[in-house]
Amino acid sequence: QLQLQESGPGLVTPSETLSLTCSVSGGSISSGSYYWGWIRQPPGKGLEWIGSIYYSGSTYYNPSLKSRVTISVDTSKNQFSLKLSSVTAADTAVYYCARAELDGGLPDYFDYWGQGTLVTVSS
């Protein structure tokens, strides 16, 4: 059974960089059949897609966050990571990593999700 697990600091100082890693078990991130993505959810609010990455390193980013986001993949560790720079309180959210099926070479629906990790931006 595929499992995804987010890890990283739960508290980040404003203006600093938020860094999270998603560890994938029960399947290979290099299988080539999926994209791997990050989605966030501010407390009490809806879902926001951050970006997605293919095992080859090909990425799609949310245009509203693109200038601050970097998603990378480490196939040797079966992990992918998120970096969000210059964070503010508005970036406080539960961050989820997830697997996306492919449709015509593009990321499709997210079928497996991590449990999520709350990241608070505060001094």
Partner 1 sequence: QSVLTQPPSASGTPGQRVTISCSGSSSNIGSNYVYWYQQFPGTAPKLLIYRNNQRPSGVPDRFSGSKSGTSASLAISGLRSEDEADYYCAAWDDSLSGPVFGGGTKLTVL
Residue ranges binding partner 1 (CB under 8 A): 46-49, 51-52, 60-63, 96, 101, 103, 106-111, 113-116
CB of 15 to partner 1, least distance (A): 26
CB nearer partner 1, residue 44 or residue 122: 44
CB of 41 to partner 1, least distance (A): 8
CB nearer partner 1, residue 13 or residue 56: 56
CB nearer partner 1, residue 67 or residue 109: 109
CB atoms within 10 A of CB 75: 13
CB nearer partner 1, residue 34 or residue 114: 114
Residues 6+ apart with CB under 8 A from 71: 38, 50, 51, 52, 53, 59, 61, 80, 81, 82, 83
CB of 72 to partner 1, least distance (A): 18
Strand ranges, E, within 1-123: 3-7, 11-12, 18-25, 34-41, 48-53, 59-61, 69-74, 79-84, 93-103, 106-113, 117-121
CA distances from 97 to 15, 24, 82 (A): 23, 10, 9
CB of 55 to partner 1, least distance (A): 18
